[in-house]
Chain A
Amino acid sequence: MGKFAQLLQDVLRLCTKYFPIYFSGMKNTVLLALIGTVLGCMIGFVCGVLNAVPYDPKDPLRKRILIKVMRAVIRAYVELFRGTPMVLQAVFIYYALPYFTDGAARFNSVWAASILVVSVNTGAYMTESVRGGIISVDPGQVEGAMAIGLTHVQAMMYVILPQALRNILPQIGNNYIINLQDTSVMFMISFTDFFAAHRGVVGATYLYFPSAVIEMTGYLTMTLISSFLLRRLEQRLEGSSSFELAVADPLTLTSGVYRNPASGELFGERSRDFIGKE
């Protein structure tokens, strides 16, 4: 028990003394993950939608080539950024500029570099999620949209994407929670996130384990709160499970349940009854 008492004491001491460092680290982590995920989603939606642009053999050659090149570029982007670790992407992007320009150009802000890396990385994953989300929408929905005369873009905007968004919301949540944790690799380009706070504090105090306990608790708190909020958002998008009958509307008084007076009971039943009686 003595060890636990000591741990508690150490944790409390670190917390009180280094609270501003931990807190600002946490704030940066949340902010970076949030911005990165939102921008990543935008990239994903744009790429996913561009990927879904249809073409048929009758289209002019120029259009077909354009669409094929576009798909190839998006494919290459997805494979490249999904296929390499984010920590390397960060280093790669951050040091490439000064290397090629002999130090003349560099990222002035670590924030800009970090946001770029996280959102481009998330975008690669989201592109595939959006593609899946679009595929999973019932093809009948597209036909329904075409049948009332909507263009491909209109069908996407008003019918397909809203449904695709609902389908991939759990994926977006997943990405956000992964980003909350994985942004910790940004310490490589000296981004001061929650994990960097740990490294800073440990460097000064050598209290590795107590600080790790704080980190664990901190990350878990952030992800649990996020999970909760994401579920609420999903429920909201799902819409209420009940609806109100618009009985107050004057038009409905004349309608009620429809029955054609001329048809009688005969027609409400199965067709063979009718033939039989004739």
Chain B
Amino acid sequence: MDKEPILEVRHLSKTFGTNPVLKDIDFDICTGDVISIIGPSGSGKSTLLRCINLLEIPTAGSILFRGKDITDLGKDVFSYRAKVGMVFQSFNLFDNLSVMDNCTLGQVRVLHRDREEAEEYALQILSRVGMAPYCNARPRQLSGGQKQRVAIARAMALDPEVILFDEPTSALDPELVGEVLDVMRDLAEQGMTMAVVTHEMAFARQVSSRVVFMDEGVIMEEGAPDELFTDPKNDRTREFLGRYLSR
């Protein structure tokens, strides 16, 4: 336990109307963690990530980033969001901007880097995800896998302390999933702190340092991937994973 926690989620609850989506969640992300969050659809996995990035405002509880509660940051919320990268299922690349401009907009406007410096850095990052040759392309000219790799580069360009992935491969056809997972795997190996909501069990098992199983707005079980995948303690976890394990 010598690792320093970046994010501490404490008693987090979120309700939409009268519908409780997250119930009293406690959850930590430490430096170098690669956390996979798995579970059935509608179990609150995405909402958890969206609360961490303040795309949703938590109903109750607190989220501490380096010890400071993010729910009352005021104006600092913008620089906080830049430190916590987000990759969406539907990419959400800016359609009106080129690949290059997608990766420099945040650097220039939020981190106030020079344009030249930002472009150089963007190019470096884009080449890490294999997208540098496409820097002049518009998002609509790219395949889904390419878009997602650019989206990862866009998040990385801001030097975030942690990147949140919200089902990054769910909108991709099976052939394109591999290229995105390869990039994420590479990131994980280089020590990037990541929280990944995913249905890719092989990725969760092979790459992550910790797996969290959620159902009905509650964390049912969490543990090392080998433990959780071979010997789940919780019945619901066993039932959920049964489909993957029986093959």
Contacts and interface: CB of A to CB of B under 8 A. Distances in A.
Q: Interface residues of A: mostly helix, strand, loop or mixed? A: loop
Contacts of A242: 141
A150 B96 contact: no
Contacts of B106: 148-150
Interface residues of A, number: 50
Contacts of B86: 147
B205 A258 contact: no
Given A149-B110, A150-B78, A251-B132, A141 B95 contact: yes
B209 interface: no
Contacts of B158: 148-149
Indicate the member of A150, A254, A262 with the most B CB atoms within 10 Å.
Answer: A150
Choose among A144, A166, A256, A260 the residue with the greatest number of B CB atoms under 10 Å from its CB: A144
A266 to B, nearest CB: 9
B177 interface: yes
B53 interface: yes
Contacts of B182: 258-260, 263, 267-268
Given A148-B110, A246-B135, A276 B96 contact: no
Contact of A274 (B79, B96, B97, B206): B206
Nearest to A152: B78
B88 A143 contact: yes
A65 interface: no
B79 A149 contact: yes
Interface in B52-90: 53, 55, 57, 78-82, 85-86, 88, 90
Interface string A240-278: 011111110101101111111011000111111111100
Interface stretch (A26-34, A157-165, A222-230): A157-165
9 contacts: A144-B94, A147-B86, A149-B78, A149-B110, A150-B109, A158-B97, A255-B128, A260-B185, A275-B202
A-B CB proximity, top 6 nearest? A258-B130, A271-B202, A144-B92, A149-B82, A148-B106, A268-B178
Interface of B: 53, 55, 57, 78-82, 85-86, 88, 90-97, 105-106, 109-110, 123-124, 127-130, 132-138, 141, 149, 154-155, 158, 174, 177-179, 181-183, 185-186, 189, 200-203, 205-206, 244-245, 247
Given A246-B136, A260-B183, A263-B182, 14 more contacts: A140-B92, A141-B92, A147-B53, A148-B85, A150-B105, A154-B109, A249-B123, A251-B124, A252-B133, A256-B130, A260-B186, A270-B177, A271-B201, A272-B247
